[in-house]
Structure 1
Amino acid sequence: MSASPRDPLARPDGRDSRWEQHRLTRRQELVDAAIRAIREQGASIGMDEIAASAGTSKTVIYRHLGDRLGLYIAVCEAVDTLIVKDVGTALDHSVDAADLDQLRTDPRPALAAVIDSYLRLVERDPELYRFVTRRPLVDVPVEQDPVTGLSDAIATTLAGIFEGPLAESGGDPTAALTWAHGLVGFVRESADRWLVDPRRLPREAVVHQLADFAAFGLTGVLGTTRTTS
């Protein structure tokens, strides 16, 4: 007995598969075109300019990406992938090069690697970074904010390397995630300020400063003696 067109066990129509692949390919092409336009024309670019750069219309962009918010989120996802990949690679390299004892006694190399990977993106793609962090096209609902999602992803990765040494030293492992989120916010705010500073220091100098503060705290960098009340 042959399967009816509505039979859920029927083999998928090859045309449907081809159309779905075409849709995904076209979507990626539009995102790539938007990223190129942002890099060339700046973070304040509008939808008309993005459509013109892509050689299409806003209607076509909306058809494949939904709306302005859809385009913004799609661009953010592409940037997020780059940052998370770079941060993960930096962490893997620094953690592989040090055992837990070294990480516990000197977390600075791992922190410097993460900070450097973040600032490299800011330095390499300033307009794209501004576009993501300043949200020029839309007001993003809190629950859909991709910047928050990126912060969560990086913080979770960092917390994973803090937890082991923290537990071994008898500390509270739950502090790892709190510290990780604090570190992400600290670096992101510092990066934003560094990007607009007309007397901007070289990236290496800023990485050094931030890694020192993140690893040793205010007491350590100021050379003061810790006291308890």
Structure 2
Amino acid sequence: MSVTRDRRDSRWDAHREQRRAELVATTVEAIRTHGAGVGMEEVAAAAGTSKTAVYRHFRDRTGLYVAVCDAVAQVLVNQIRRATDRTLADGAGPHAAVAAGIAAYLGTIEADREVYRFVVHRPLLVGDAGDPADPIADLVTVIGDHVATVISTYLPAAAAPRIWGHAVVGMVRGAADDWLARPDGTTRAELAAHLTDLAWTGLAGLATGGTR
């Protein structure tokens, strides 16, 4: 049986989505202003509304948090894809693509440290089935799959590209989190070079003829 929604209800969908997007953008700006520990009162004040009005669109703080994570994930994934795709399109080899992807990841999180901290230092989230929901895990999955595609395309001798792709992403994320949390004077360029060298030490063995 086909059910047609009342036009008076469906016509407001675009408006609701636009309002949600505006609130997410406002939340990101509030995080940049007040830091990763921003409260809902500060978010509501930045949006010129009340916490009740914000919850009307996201149900609770967790709902807003997940929406912010989705927005951050989209930006981060797009930056990495753009960097690696551009490098490969310019005719550079997989080594350069790995370096470009790592540099893009580090550059994006360094430019928005408080937003990244807000996303990483997340509360316990519960999914629809009652299981913990982790937007960051989803983000890592998307990036890991993208890296795996690059590896399988440009390093055809790789026996387990998905494993390698996710291993590289896990390594970069772990080192980047520590770099932000415990600065020791290492610059972003230096960290990117160290991580690229470490990643390529393993990946180079998969390259036919040691292609760089």
Q: TM-score, structure 1 length as denominator?
A: 0.80
Contact 1:43 1:128 in 2 (8 A): yes
Residue 114 of structure 2 corresponds to 127
* Number of aligned residue pairs: 200
Alignment of 1:77-156 (within 5 A): 77-98=70-91, 103=93, 107-135=94-122, 138-141=123-126, 143-156=132-145
Shift of 1:42: 0.3
Quick one: which amino acid aligns to residue 23 of structure 2?
L
Whole-Å separation in 2 of the counterparts to 1:193 and 1:9:
52
Quick one: which amino acid aligns to residue 138 of structure 2?
G
Shift of 1:207: 0.8
Structure 2: gaps of 5 or more residues: 206-212
Relative distance call for 1:114 and 1:206 in structure 2 (3 A) is: same
Relative distance call for 1:218 and 1:24 in structure 2 (3 A) is: closer
Three-state SS of the structure 1 residue aligned to 2:12 is helix
Whole-Å separation in 2 of the counterparts to 1:9 and 1:53:
38
Alignment of 1:187-198 (within 5 A): 187-198=172-183
Q: Which segments of structure 1 move beyond 6 Å, counting only runs of 4 or more?
A: none
Larger mean Cα displacement after TM superposition, 112-121 or 19-28: 19-28
Shift of 1:143: 4.8
Contact 1:194 1:200 in 2 (8 A): no
Larger mean Cα displacement after TM superposition, 141-150 or 206-215: 141-150
Whole-Å separation in 1 of the counterparts to 2:163 and 2:73:
21
Larger mean Cα displacement after TM superposition, 211-220 or 44-53: 211-220
Identity of aligned residues (%): 42
Whole-Å separation in 1 of the counterparts to 2:59 and 2:203:
47
Alignment pair present for 1:185 and 2:174:
no
Shift of 1:8: 4.9
Residue 225 of structure 1 corresponds to none
Residue 50 of structure 2 corresponds to 57
Contact 2:102 2:172 in 1 (8 A): yes
Structure 1: gaps of 5 or more residues: 1-6, 221-229
Residue 185 of structure 2 corresponds to 200
Whole-Å separation in 2 of the counterparts to 1:198 and 1:75:
26
- Structure ID, larger Rg: 1
- Give per-residue Cα distances to partners, 1:51-76, cap 9 Å, x unaligned: 22222111111110121111000000
Residue 67 of structure 1 corresponds to 60
Shift of 1:47: 1.6
Shift of 1:200: 3.0
